[in-house]
DNA sequence: CACCACCCCTGGACGC
DNA sequence: TGCGTCCAGGGGTGGT
């Protein structure tokens, strides 16, 4: 669920709360979520947070000594900064213990926060009495540790396209003209442009009045320019509203956003098009393997492949506003 | 290269 | 009320 705006909101709130703080200790509850060195060094223990960087949907917490932890929130990941419980509050009770996955080690020499919500995988203890928690029920997200920020770029972020907020019209045009895929598939491809997901691609295509199956290489320079402008407006607006909180998205201060109230097609299958002059009904179907919503009036184009099942009736049953 | 199916995983919605 | 089933979603991988 977190796409560029939500990840940017996490970055900003995280930056306010953790930059300059020292990481005193880390507790790894589920080590499987960490790829790369699972050592104290890899997880910045003993280091001080220098900055928090975002590219596309990914974050990096960079330490002063140069190491960094890349965070991908996947579908349900959260990074939350909270006051760390007092030592006297951290004595595990039977109830709290039952939340702890079997196999986790309770090396309780340090005052660990024990009253952890379910699906908490990693907890960093910061100075100033704060704790940073990584939680992710569905575990589509994860952490990648790197000795240097450059290594994160070399090994991971270089595979991504330009960030959706900084891509140039010429850059997008060139990249789109290199593929015959539909716009929906192309814009979801993080190697083409980084940061867009299912929600914002649908919203962007609606705003630009482009059908999701429009061949990407049919986009001319002028339309690419318009897409870049619309994407910036859409994404910046969403950041200003704190992102889209559909299910469980919150920023590092546990605040939810309100952009979901402005969605014009996503989650609105079966409902009336919000464009005043349009009487259309939003439909949805499978495009590029994703549930896709569009207005057939505002976004004329081919119907999806006849073999694709049309999920319209099912989606219409549960309009998410 | 393009595109597909499949997998990862859980909670929420739904049907009975 | 309670249980089974379906499904969303990003991204990686392996096959066609």
Residue nearest to nucleotide B10 (CA to C1'): A138
Provide, for chain A, the percentages of residues in helix, strand and coil under a 3-state DSSP scheme, each rounded to the nearest 5. 30, 20, 50
Task: Please tell me the distance from the alpha carbon of residue A174 to that of residue A61, in angstroms, as a whole number.
Answer: 32
Share of chain A above pLDDT 70, in %: 84
**pTM metric for this prediction:** 0.87
Measured CA to CA in angstroms, residue A221 lies from A163, A170, A228 at distances of 19, 7, 11
Spacing of C-alpha A103 from chain mean position = 29
Residue nearest to nucleotide C6 (CA to C1'): A314
Residue numbers 216-275 of A with CB closer than 7 A to any atom of strand C: none
Task: Please tell me the distance from the alpha carbon of residue A141 to that of residue A118, in angstroms, as a whole number.
Answer: 16
Contact flag, residue A140 CB and nucleic strand C, below 7 A: yes
Angle between helices A221-240 and A169-177 (to 10 degrees): 120
Spacing of C-alpha A9 from chain mean position = 10
- Please tell me the least confidently modeled range out of A53-62, A193-202, A245-254, A288-297: A245-254
A71 or A284, higher pLDDT: A71
Contact flag, residue A111 CB and nucleic strand B, below 7 A: no
Strand A283-287 and strand A290-294: the pairing is antiparallel
A37-51 mean pLDDT? 90
- Interatomic separation, CA of residue A288 and C1' of nucleotide B3, rounded (Å): 9
Element (DSSP H or E) covering residue A131: strand A130-135
pLDDT on residue A290: 87
- Please tell me the least confidently modeled range out of A15-29, A151-165, A239-253, A298-312: A298-312
CB of A122 within 8 A of CB of A27? yes
């Amino acid at each position: 669920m977190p796409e560029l705006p939500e990840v940017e909101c996490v970055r900003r709130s995280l930056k306010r709360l953790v930059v300059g703080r020292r990481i005193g200790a880390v507790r790894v509850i589920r080590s499987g979520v960490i790829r790369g060195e699972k050592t104290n060094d890899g997880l910045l223990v003993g280091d001080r947070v220098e900055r928090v960087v975002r590219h596309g949907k990914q974050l990096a917490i960079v330490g002063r000594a140069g190491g960094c932890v890349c965070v991908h929130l996947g579908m349900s990941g959260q990074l939350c900064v909270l006051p760390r419980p007092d030592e006297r509050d951290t004595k595990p009770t039977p109830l709290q213990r039952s939340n702890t996955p079997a196999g986790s080690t309770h090396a309780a020499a340090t005052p660990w926060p024990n009253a952890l919500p379910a699906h908490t995988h990693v907890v960093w203890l910061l100075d100033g009495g704060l704790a940073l928690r990584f939680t992710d029920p569905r575990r589509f997200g994860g952490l990648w540790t790197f000795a240097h920020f450059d290594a994160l770029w070399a090994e991971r972020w270089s595979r991504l396209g330009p960030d959706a907020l900084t891509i140039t019209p010429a850059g997008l045009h060139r990249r789109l003209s290199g593929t015959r895929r539909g716009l929906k598939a192309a814009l979801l491809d993080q190697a083409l442009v980084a940061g867009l997901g299912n929600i914002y691609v649908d919203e962007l295509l609606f705003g630009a009045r482009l059908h999701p199956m429009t061949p990407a290489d049919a986009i001319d320079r002028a339309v690419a320019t318009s897409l870049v402008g619309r994407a910036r407006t859409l994404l910046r607006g969403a950041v200003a509203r704190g992102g889209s909180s559909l299910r469980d998205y919150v920023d590092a201060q546990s605040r939810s956003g309100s952009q979901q109230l402005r969605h014009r097609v996503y989650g609105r299958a079966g409902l009336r098009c919000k464009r005043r002059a349009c009487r259309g009904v939003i439909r949805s179907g499978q495009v590029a393997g994703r549930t896709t919503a569009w207005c057939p009036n505002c976004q004329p184009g081919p119907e999806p492949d006849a073999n694709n099942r049309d999920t319209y009736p099912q989606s219409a049953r549960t309009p998410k506003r």
